[in-house]
Structure 1
Amino acid sequence: DGTLEIMKSIKSRNPEKVEVVNVPPDRGKSKPRALNYALDLILKEYSHPDYIFILDADYLLSPRAIRTLVGILENAPKYVIGVQGNVRPRNWNRNFVTRFITLERLVGYNVAIEGDLKLNENGKYGGTVALLRFPYVIKLGKFTPDAVTEDTDLWARALIEGYRFWYYHGVIGWEECVETMHDYIKQRSRWAQGHLQVMVNYYWSVLKNCSTIEEAFIEHFYMMSYLVPVFWFLSVVLNGYMILSNITPVYRNSWFYLLVSLMAFLVFWISIAYANWIEKRRHGFGVQWWFVALYPLYFLIFVMGGVIYTLRGLLRLLAGRFYWEKTRRFT
């Protein structure tokens, strides 16, 4: 796609600041392997830096973004391994799918990650727009080569060793999100497989190394989050079988469970509205309010999408198919 030639052109204009690395085939084929190759080059050829900055190729940053993150990490406690920046789709208004993904991002960062940071000083690592302490990453053994989601894998191993990630909403990386339902399911299948892989490998170790019961409680749900669509699917299958077989359910007060489900949905809907509101207040960015208001009319489409991509990821994990699937780009 011309990436190598473009980077060589940039290097020719900035020879002292830019180094172009062409990863050999035997060291690439996945993001963690390519990252490890770059880390090995740094260890071998350059004076060891204090920090490394991870950024996916489709992202755009403000000129002072890295300086801002360096300033935060320089003043952070030594147990902070890195600072995760904000992520927003720059093609957010392209269509129905991109608007929904934007709401996912807003809730994920403004509610889940920021909330976890404020409660337990335990943000997350998203694999991009992130400044990491180079010596700590080396001490952890770099990135796990066969990890499908190397970011979640590093987060888990860092937590086990006593490190924590911070999050700062003021540095925004503008990504290009996928624009079709097919690519959404394909990308999320990889995310689901990688997350479930981390859950299988580190679940108990993560819980045992949480600093408080509250932190363990939250990280339990974070580790189990990709099983929620599986449980939802199984409940539909089980209830459908009971209805068709005319089996009387064990529970009698069905209205109570319906009310609890409705309340849970309303809480999540409110959290979406809050995430959109706080982003507009901070950065003047957000999805149209009519799209937020209509959430109950389209959320089931993405619930079904969640069932599909989670089951795909789970089946791949059980089959031992560990490969890194590249996301399709649209520009």
Structure 2
Amino acid sequence: MKEFFQILVNSIFVFSVIFIWLMLLYQFILTIGGFLWRNKLSKESYNFSENELPSVSVLIPARNEEKVIGKLIESLLQMKYPEEKIEIIVINDGSDDRTEEIVRDFTLKDKRIRILNIPKEESGKGKGEALNKGLKEAKNDVIAVYDADNIPEPDSLYKLCGALISEKKLAGCVGKFRAYNKGRNLLTRLINIESIAFQWIIQAGRWFFMKISFIPGTNFVIWRKVLEEIGGWDRKALTEDSELTFRIYEKGYRIKFLPVVTSWEQEPERLKTWIRQRTRWAMGNSYIISKYLKKILKTKLNFSLIELLNLVYLYYLFVFAILFSDTLFILALSKIIRITVIGPYAELWAFAFFLFLIEILIALSFEREDNLSNFLLSIFAYLTYTKLWVFVVLRALYFQYFSKKEKKWEKTERF
């Protein structure tokens, strides 16, 4: 029995090391792709006449957004886009604060703004359902989506729509999001580093090498005809943006990532809010896996299969590899167990740590944020923030498969 237990401990440890290293190497390759995509973007030009640009309906799902909705509408009214080609629809999803009042004041000042009130008895069914209702009211050829806490830069729609009409295979284009409250506290600083790394490594790298990118839920445009072809948003999905991405690629379309298009958003300022938000993300990805896994495994190798396997790897294998390796490391230090596999594991851990820092610092340099403060925060994040994801995924799995609590979309708290 002792011998079997030792073999089990050694096997779990070795497989954990392998899985962690595979993910690190994959992300390092994507980091190179992000660097190459950044260089290529610097040579692209954005010169489109007003006649070329399509008409746009901007959808803003809003539920109790009195703290932020005004700034978003003001930024949209300052967009460098033909006035006659844009309409702004605020979908008031049963708000019980001053959201409707604030939006109505704007409708009196500018005819491009409309408000769609969802009755109380039909409200609160999630962002996807709200967007579907907005889609039915939209009149224009292109649909743009912004979360209520966003402040997009003035050229955002011009660049997104210009890129959209430039390539026939594109169903949509997505921009980059940045945190405007990044300096608020330690948590927002860590989220800022994470979001920069995600976009310049995962999004930019995958687009450069595989022409793959994910809809991030805000700061994106998509052809209305494509949305109607695939049936709009899945109202059951907790991450309606990711689920929509799958169906778009299944139809043979592409979604282009344009990090030159920036929208500033508010990130969670409290750990409790962050945990709830990220739990919803993890549960949403579990839903996508359960919805598409069997179906996609029967098809030829394509985007959906690649990305689904990546989700499985990231949210299951990689997270559990971290959990097991950290647990075994602590138990071994405490001399409760022994790891008898011979190998340069201390060197591997040190190099993994070094590789992690290199990837993060390269991504930060693209935003000119590769400073000493962020370098030290990246070290801190490796030891703490990244480990919180293990807790988040375990929490999501519990709610997804064991809890009897109703699974519903929860709006992120505003500050």
Query: Does 1:137 pair with 2:222?
Result: no
Q: CA 1:23 to 1:218, structure 2 compared with 1: closer, same or farther past 3 Å?
A: closer
Residue in structure 2 matching 1:20, options 83, 100, 115:
115
Question: Deviation of residue 297 (structure 1)?
Answer: 3.2
Residue in 2 that maps onto 1:152? 242
Q: CA-to-partner distance for each residue in 1:109-144, whole Å, 9 max, x for gaps?
A: 111100000001111111100101111111111111
Question: Deviation of residue 223 (structure 1)?
Answer: 4.5
Say whether the 8 Å CA contact 2:193–2:378 is kept in structure 1: no
Question: Deviation of residue 218 (structure 1)?
Answer: 6.0
Question: Deviation of residue 95 (structure 1)?
Answer: 1.2
Alignment of 1:276-295 (within 5 A): 276-280=364-368, 286=369, 288-295=371-378
* Structure of greater Rg: 2
Question: Deviation of residue 258 (structure 1)?
Answer: 3.9
Say whether the 8 Å CA contact 1:156–1:206 is kept in structure 2: no
Distance 1:24 1:317 in 2: 29
Residue in structure 2 matching 1:268, options 341, 344, 356:
356
Distance 2:265 2:221 in 1: 17
Residue in 1 that maps onto 2:396? 313
Residue in 2 that maps onto 1:300? 383
Residue in 1 that maps onto 2:344? 256
**Relative to structure 2, which stretch is displaced further, 165-174 or 153-162?**
153-162
**Relative to structure 2, which stretch is displaced further, 122-131 or 304-313?**
304-313
Q: CA 1:210 to 1:11, structure 2 compared with 1: closer, same or farther past 3 Å?
A: farther
Question: Deviation of residue 269 (structure 1)?
Answer: 1.4
Secondary structure of 1:19's aligned partner = strand
Residue in 2 that maps onto 1:66? 157
Query: Does 1:127 pair with 2:222?
Result: no
Identity of aligned residues (%): 26
Residue in structure 2 matching 1:226, options 315, 318, 331:
315
Say whether the 8 Å CA contact 2:285–2:311 is kept in structure 1: no
Question: Deviation of residue 294 (structure 1)?
Answer: 4.3
Structure 2 letter corresponding to 1:293: L
Distance 1:20 1:276 in 2: 39
Query: Does 1:55 pair with 2:146?
Result: yes
Residue in 2 that maps onto 1:328? 413
Q: CA 1:258 to 1:23, structure 2 compared with 1: closer, same or farther past 3 Å?
A: farther
**Relative to structure 2, which stretch is displaced further, 217-226 or 193-202?**
217-226
**Relative to structure 2, which stretch is displaced further, 159-168 or 289-298?**
289-298
Question: How many equivalent pairs are there?
Answer: 314
Secondary structure of 2:262's aligned partner = strand
Secondary structure of 1:58's aligned partner = coil
Alignment of 1:186-201 (within 5 A): 186-201=276-291
Query: Does 1:107 pair with 2:197?
Result: yes
Alignment of 1:28-107 (within 5 A): 28-29=123-124, 30-42=126-138, 46=139, 49-78=140-169, 80-107=170-197
Secondary structure of 1:21's aligned partner = strand
Question: Deviation of residue 180 (structure 1)?
Answer: 1.8
Say whether the 8 Å CA contact 2:289–2:308 is kept in structure 1: no
Secondary structure of 1:107's aligned partner = helix
Question: Deviation of residue 91 (structure 1)?
Answer: 0.6
Distance 1:245 1:304 in 2: 23
Distance 1:111 1:273 in 2: 11
Distance 1:288 1:99 in 2: 13
Structure 2 letter corresponding to 1:296: I
Question: Deviation of residue 245 (structure 1)?
Answer: 9.0
Normalised to the residue count of structure 2, the TM-score between the two structures is 0.70
Structure 2 letter corresponding to 1:312: R
Distance 1:259 1:216 in 2: 34
Structure 2 letter corresponding to 1:192: A
Question: Deviation of residue 238 (structure 1)?
Answer: 5.7
Distance 1:209 1:165 in 2: 20
Q: CA 1:142 to 1:93, structure 2 compared with 1: closer, same or farther past 3 Å?
A: same
Distance 1:170 1:231 in 2: 35
Alignment of 1:162-177 (within 5 A): 162-177=252-267
Distance 2:190 2:128 in 1: 28
Structure 1 letter corresponding to 2:408: Y
Question: Deviation of residue 73 (structure 1)?
Answer: 0.1
Q: CA 1:224 to 1:40, structure 2 compared with 1: closer, same or farther past 3 Å?
A: farther
Say whether the 8 Å CA contact 1:203–1:223 is kept in structure 2: no
Q: CA 1:177 to 1:206, structure 2 compared with 1: closer, same or farther past 3 Å?
A: farther
Alignment of 1:197-212 (within 5 A): 197-203=287-293, 205-206=295-296, 208=299, 210-211=301-302
Secondary structure of 1:20's aligned partner = strand
Alignment of 1:176-191 (within 5 A): 176-191=266-281
Residue in 2 that maps onto 1:283? none
Query: Does 1:5 pair with 2:96?
Result: no
Stretches of structure 2 lacking an aligned partner (at least 5 in a row): 1-96
Say whether the 8 Å CA contact 2:361–2:370 is kept in structure 1: no
Secondary structure of 1:323's aligned partner = coil
